[in-house]
Amino acid sequence: MPPRWPRKPDRNEPAYRKLDDRMNFAIHVGIFGATNSGLWFFHNLQNAEWPWLNWVTGGWALVLVAHAVYIFAIADYSDPTIPSQNTPTKSPQG
């Protein structure tokens, strides 16, 4: 069952951004697995000489690892605080 969001989705909300990024990562992993398993299946089935296949799989795997590092370690999902312009500030003159 797909995840349900209790209110109207808003990309500015940190929890929604986090969930959305993780779902996009899951789709990325699924496409990687399906595509590469298909390529390697036909490579082995036909005894093909595809020297580019190792580069495609390795390069895509590195991109996938970079995506995972960003999602799980670097991304900041804290609520951005925007200072209000209506708050009085104290001037140096008093």
Structural domain includes residue 2: no
Structural domain includes residue 68: yes
Is residue 11 within 8 Å of 17, Cβ to Cβ?
Answer: yes
In the chain, what is the straight-line distance between the N-terminal and C-terminal CA atoms, in Å? 60
CA distance 37 to 84: 52
Structural domain includes residue 53: yes
CA distance 72 to 63: 14
Number of H helices, E strands in the chain: 2, 0
Structural domain includes residue 86: no
Which one, of 74, 73, 72, 78, lies nearest residue 14 by Cα?
78
Structural domain includes residue 94: no
Write out the chain's pLDDT in tens, 94 residues.
Answer: 666 767 777 778 888 888 889 999 999 999 999 999 999 999 999 999 999 999 999 999 999 999 999 999 998 888 766 655 555 555 566 5
Domain that holds residue 54: 14-74
> Domain tally for the chain?
1
Structural domain includes residue 85: no
